[in-house]
Structure 1
Amino acid sequence: MSIPSLDRGVLLLARGDDLQVEQVTGAADAESPCTAATRFQIASISKQMAAVAVLLLAERGALRLDDPINRWLPDPPAAWSGITPHHLLTHTSGLGHWEEYPMIDLAGPAEPDKLLAVFAGVPPLFIPGAGWHYSSPGYVLLARAVERASGRPYAEFLAEEVFAPLGMTGSFAGDAAGRDDVAVGHEGGRPVPSWDLDTVSMGAGDVWCTGADLLTWLDVPRRGRLLGPAAVAAMTTPHAPTGRPGEAYGYGWFVGPLAGERAVHHSGDNGGFKAFAAWLPDSDRRLVLLTNQAEVDPALVSAALLE
């Protein structure tokens, strides 16, 4: 099966340490082509970086995965008293996703504590641990907890404690203003404004990566980089069934079958950007797809894995 070509973006497929497929194509913005140095929003794959930040702090004893999340947030509502980082990491907290918060403008700026107050104003969908519901707001709370536990801004913590040790020199979190080699998102062939990545999507969809950096990122579960063995195992354990056949959620990763193999993976979807990253341990394959357009051939990922 031949792999369909991307219109814009990067597609990488590696087996072991050998890069077998490399597509870099299309325009990054109105003036520049996509190159190996182009940074793309990885959208919800950013949740993996938030999970690693939490696990790093847990390894250091700065927080616990069974802490009441109220310990790490200003003025939390009583309805959150039973929620822990574990619940937020696994989407079992009962908090909703963006559709449960239609009053939030994903592209608009927000004051951090006012954003938390909006989250707090919507009752949880169920008591912690009683169900599974994908929740980006839950990961925003985790990023705030990282800030409180580390005493540093979240983007700074990722830069110094996550990206730098891994050699991910093209990666950063938050607003891209003033940065070089950043793609512009497109829908229907036209550029669209970025979502707010400093506050509204912090921890949930705020990271920019090159294709090569995201391929390196997959070495966190693959080679146990950055975290100790127990934390890596906890991250990729199928903690909470998602309701799809054979699939569960770990800490920032979906765990389940992909192209007939075991896999840990995640997709991402921000305004004008799509992303996908997966590691298939049985064949030791890593797949990265980053594109700055909303429309992507749905056969692209399966075709790449069947190549």
Structure 2
Amino acid sequence: MIRTETLVRQGDEWIVDDATETRYQLASVSKQFTAAAVLLLVADGRLAIDDRVSRWIDSSPEQWRDITLHHLLTHTSGLGTWHDYPMIDLAQRVEPSELLRTFAGVPLQYPPGQSWSYSSPAYVLLAHVVERAADTPYREFVADRIFDHLGLANTFAGAPGGRPNLAPGHDIEGQPRPTWELDVVGMGAGDVWSTAKDVLAWIDALQAGRLLPEPYRTLMLTERVPTGKGPDESGYGYGVFIGEVNGRHWWHHSGDNAGYNAFAANIPELARRVVVLTNTDAMDASTIEPLLA
């Protein structure tokens, strides 16, 4: 069954509340959790924002020599996005070492730090860095340090196994669609499942500093680099787009995996948070725009 769940909250008032305990893939909204995981390890003293990726990824190619964690977090590493790696089947599991070799074999689009281009593979690399620095599987680290810590009881990363209350994905015509692989290929880039209520709780906790201490909360939620895009996403922080909507500052991210679309946003000046999750490829901007008016 196709479902779309929408939460809009302004202050303590619910404007829309259609949420259930159904879990959806968050797709690229997952990148917020990856960025937060990196920043938690920076706060712990296990990582530094200017660490070179070659310190943490074995057999990094020479072309990655100048890539730092900051570059990966802000999509300025020069790595491409999925369509630049046509040899990767997003629905097919491969060994992590094979996936990293595939990334390493594709030339960078530009020298690190010289431009901006969205890159999901960059966030897969960040998840590997988290695993290496924490000496813990990525999905276990985010479960312990983020989901459990914040009481996000219906949120998890990776393949669902036998977990209940999962919304199956559908294509634009309403037909069932096989899921992407989330334990290796999508790890850190689009691997989180959650509910609309949990995502709202996540937005509130992140904004209020209940997860990241300063200055790391501010580093994540303010512009680190310009994107060259329109005013609503003119900058990128760490795991979030930064810009203005209707003349007010906001941070947000959208996501789309096969059969799923997601959107999460916060307009701090209005205390207005918007979460939309759906298990269909059919959602577009027309679903979101009326919620921001």
What is the TM-score when the length of structure 2 is the normalising length? 0.96
Give the structure 1 partner of residue 155 of structure 2: 171
Give the structure 1 partner of residue 211 of structure 2: 226
CA shift for structure 1 position 305: 1.9
* Partner AA of 2:198 in structure 1: D
Give distance in 1, aligned partners of 2:265 and 2:284: 17
Give distance in 1, aligned partners of 2:12 and 2:112: 41
Is the Cα contact below 8 Å between 1:259 and 1:302 reproduced in 2?
no
Deviations 1:40-83 (A, max 9, x none): 00000000000000000000000111011101112110110100
> Structure 2: which 5+ residue stretches go unaligned?
none
Give distance in 2, aligned partners of 1:253 and 1:151: 26
CA shift for structure 1 position 153: 0.2
Give the structure 2 partner of residue 217 of structure 1: 202
| The one of 252, 257, 260 aligned to 1:273 | 260
Superposition pairs of residues 1-307 of structure 1, within 5 angstroms: 8-24=3-19, 36-187=20-171, 188-246=173-231, 247-306=234-293
CA shift for structure 1 position 23: 2.4
Give distance in 2, aligned partners of 1:172 and 1:272: 18
Q: Once superposed, what is the RMSD of the aligned Cα atoms?
A: 1.0
Is the Cα contact below 8 Å between 1:50 and 1:204 reproduced in 2?
yes
Is the Cα contact below 8 Å between 1:94 and 1:125 reproduced in 2?
yes
Give distance in 2, aligned partners of 1:41 and 1:250: 22
Give distance in 2, aligned partners of 1:67 and 1:274: 33
CA shift for structure 1 position 297: 4.7
SS of 1:290's equivalent?
strand
Give distance in 1, aligned partners of 2:260 and 2:285: 14
Matched pairs, number: 289
> Structure 1: which 5+ residue stretches go unaligned?
1-6, 25-35
Once the two structures are aligned, what percentage of the paired residues are identical?
A: 50
Give distance in 2, aligned partners of 1:245 and 1:272: 27
CA shift for structure 1 position 300: 1.8
Give distance in 1, aligned partners of 2:205 and 2:124: 22
* Partner AA of 2:22 in structure 1: T
Give distance in 1, aligned partners of 2:157 and 2:206: 21
Deviations 1:192-235 (A, max 9, x none): 11000000010000000011000011023321111102001100
Give distance in 2, aligned partners of 1:121 and 1:258: 39
Give distance in 2, aligned partners of 1:121 and 1:305: 42
* Partner AA of 1:300 in structure 2: T
What is the TM-score when the length of structure 1 is the normalising length? 0.92
CA shift for structure 1 position 298: 2.7
Give distance in 1, aligned partners of 2:54 and 2:11: 43
SS of 2:270's equivalent?
coil
SS of 1:190's equivalent?
coil
* Partner AA of 2:273 in structure 1: R
CA shift for structure 1 position 244: 1.3
Give distance in 1, aligned partners of 2:76 and 2:275: 27
CA shift for structure 1 position 260: 3.6
